Structure 1
Amino acid sequence: MSKQKDCAAFAIILKYLTDQNRPFSAQDIFQNLQQEHHFGKTAAVKALEQLAQDGKIKEKVYGKQKIYFADQEQFTVVGEADLKTLDKQIGEQSEKLQNLQQSCRQMEAELKELNNSMTTQEMSVEITALKQECPLYREKLWKIKSASNHVTPEDKEQVHNERKRYIKEWRKRKRMATDLIDAVLEGYPKNKKQFYEELGIETDEDHSVAVPDM
């Protein structure tokens, strides 16, 4: 690596450690910076060791691993009063953030409602179409009211009674057929399905029908 590239790697790593202000191993530095700045692990190790030797960063050894971090003396010492001020500012900003988020949610809800609403032009078209349909419905209603062939209550009652009679007869015959088949199957050597197939018997279920309620 050229001297110019060495200087660039030194500056990049020094700035990274200062901005992050937390400990990193050489492997961490390499993995975090190599994709963007295109220098290898050897260059990262060399830069870290040189920076530590020059006193620009700090180095700590834990077993076989070395950890590097920014020199803390360069950072301003924050007192108790400063921390309280920062806490107050954080609280104020958090409150502002919550208010802004609430306002955004309200505006999003209003926007969604507006997007789902008809435009003035669409409403005009809809009103015109409804006005055209109204006379047709009025005419249809008049025809129904003026018709002389309405079903009388007596006719309706007769139809209802006949329906009940047919349903009752349906159930009766189905029960008789079921009882007869069950009696035959007691001495039949095969199962019910085979019996139905041999005789060509079709059931209500085969045609997806069922006896209706009364």
Structure 2
Amino acid sequence: MSKAKDAQAVKAVLDYLNRQNRPYSAIDIVNNLHKEFGKTAVVKACEGLTEAGKIREKVYGKQKVYVADQSQFPDVDDGEIKEMDAQISQLSELTKRRGDEVRRLDSELKGLNNTISTEEAKKQLAELEKECSVCKQKLIKLKEGGNTITPQEKDKIYNSRKGFVKEWRKRKRMANDILNAVLEGYPKTKKQLYEEVGIETDEEYKVSPPEV
């Protein structure tokens, strides 16, 4: 790294520690300066500033932390400290209230975003009114005993019925074939098999596939 870059790193580290006036490790300083300078440059700057007496180094086990030289700052009396503590308490309370308000407004905003617009509501209302009108007309015909379905609809219903009855017979036949095959090697009666397996039959409910 060039001497100019080294000098920039020294100035950046010193300005940052004096401005924050809190202890930081070299890695913290690298990250807090958005990695503008590499770890090697920051460590070198910290060691040089420590030797020059511009910052202080504290060692905690294997960890080194650096902090601004406190002698450069004016003394603060107890009254000022208490006043600052009171301000911190007031600002913390204000921050909490503002945070609660932000969360409340955010929740309200989400609720509004999840509701439909006035135009969409009007559109849905018109569609429902149209559907309601059709249903009313159909109800009138039903009450009067008039023809309520078209021949095409009638044919569709009958064809669907034929398909369902055919499927009913087919499945019943398949089920009986399977059960009869099982009964060939089953040591108990058919009734006991049905009870054990939980099979319900048409005969039990007195129903049977209708004639098509």
**Alignment TM-score, normalising by the size of structure 1:** 0.56
Partner of 2:185: 195
1:108-149 deviation line (CA, Å, top 9, x unaligned): 33443446x9521221122123212320122123329xxxxx
- Alpha-carbon distance in structure 1 between the residues aligned to 2:17 and 2:205: 82
Q: How many residues of Structure 1 are paired with residues of Structure 2 in the alignment?
A: 162
- The one of 113, 126, 129 equivalent to 1:127 is 129
The residue matched to 1:68 in structure 2 has which SS? Answer: strand
Percentage identity across paired residues of the two chains? 29
Matched, 1:209 2:200: yes
Matched AA of 1:11: K
Task: Choose the corresponding residue for 1:136, options 135, 138, 141.
Answer: 138
Indicate which of 85, 88, 110 corresponds to 1:86.
Answer: 88
> Residues 1-214 of structure 1: matches in 2 within 5 Å?
1-30=1-30, 32=31, 36-39=35-38, 41-62=39-60, 65-73=63-71, 77=76, 78-114=80-116, 118-143=120-145, 195-196=185-186, 204=194, 208-210=199-201, 211-212=204-205
Please provide the CA RMSD for this pair: 4.0
> Cα deviations across residues 145-166 of structure 1 (Å, max 9, x unaligned)?
xxxxxxxxxxxxxxxxxxxxxx
Distance 2:15 2:7 in 1: 12
- Matched AA of 2:6: D
CA–CA distance in structure 1, aligned partners of residues 102 and 26 of structure 2 = 42
Counterpart code for 2:138: L
Unaligned runs of 5+ in 1: 145-191
TM-score w.r.t. the length of structure 2 is 0.56
String of CA shifts for 1:37-74, please: whole Å, max 9, x gaps. Answer: 252x3322211111222333211244565321223355
Structure of larger gyration radius: 1
| Structure 2: segments with no counterpart, 5+ residues | 147-181, 207-212
Structure 2 residue identity aligned to 1:90? S
